[in-house]
Amino acid sequence: MSEFTTPEEVVRSVSQVATLPEMHLRLLEVMNNPRSSALDMARVISRDPGLTARLLKRSNSAYYGMGSTVATVTRAITVVGVSQLRELSVSTSVVRMFKRLPQDLLDMDAFWQHSVLVGVIAKEMALMLKLPDTEEAFVAGLLHDVGRVLLVLAMPVEYRKVLLFARASGRWLNQVEHDQLGFTHAQVGGALFRSWGLPRSLEHAAEFHHFPELVTRQRTVTSMVHLADAMAHGLEIGNSGETRIPPFQSRFWEELQLPDLMTEVLANAEHSVVDVYRSIMQPASGEEEETV
């Protein structure tokens, strides 16, 4: 029997590790203040060389089509917008936090390869749908399985048994988690994001990406991550710890009214995933490698 009975207990048990850095919390505070300016945000961001480098790189990407180089943090904030800045800060913080875990339970390089691919595929869908915030889809995909990392940290012995049983039996890992632990990595991820006060779209994508039908309102991002997760497993790039392709509910593809361009979505994602993975996983200039 597990020493934890709820996802929230798992989150609390690793709270010393799974805590958003002070810089991110300060940045959220500034961003949530209606009186704050881009300069106020820039003063906070400039204390973090890694986030500064990623923000400047993002603002100078071809996506924004700037005619001249964006050279200051203040200007970069006005280019990418507050919403994408928030998500860039979250994704940078979380990847740093869990980037280098012991490899004996999960191959973390393969885990992040899969996670990045899910994010890239979800973003491709958002682009096709012409959604105003494609970065939200990317971050939701990137972080959808982070609850599995918390299970590795909180209960390594028990979770090893879960992984081994799933591999030996060929059963869906999410179902084995539920049967043996009483909750799943998805529920742990949702509990983590609730404790951090992250946007509901990210919380729902983590908690319900296997069952989008449980989200009754505003489930576009959750549905995209559900589809992207199954598609990424089908491409066999990276590995989340799962030994089989999760269920793919095609009705959510139809519900999103996506055009019949699944092949194009996958081709675009495969083309860009390596560069995106490197940009996220490799330390930015001035940023030191961190370990948990």
Percent of the chain whose predicted confidence (pLDDT) is above 70: 91
Spans of all domains in the chain: 7-281
More reliable by pLDDT, 59 or 140: 140
Q: Which of 65-79, 107-121, 171-185 has the highest mean pLDDT?
A: 171-185
Which residue, 88, 84, 100, is CA-closest to 51? 88
Q: How many CB atoms lie within 10 A of CB 64?
A: 13
Average pLDDT, integer, range 254-280: 78
Report the CATH number of the 7-281 domain.
1.10.3210.10
**CA–CA separation, 2 and 155 (whole Å):** 8
Task: Tell me which DSSP letter residue 212 carries.
Answer: G
For 124-178, the pLDDT digits (tens) are 899 888 888 788 899 999 999 999 999 999 999 999 999 999 999 999 999 999 9
Q: What is the CA radius of gyration of the chain?
A: 19
For 17-26, the pLDDT digits (tens) are 777 778 888 8
For 207-219, the pLDDT digits (tens) are 999 999 999 888 9
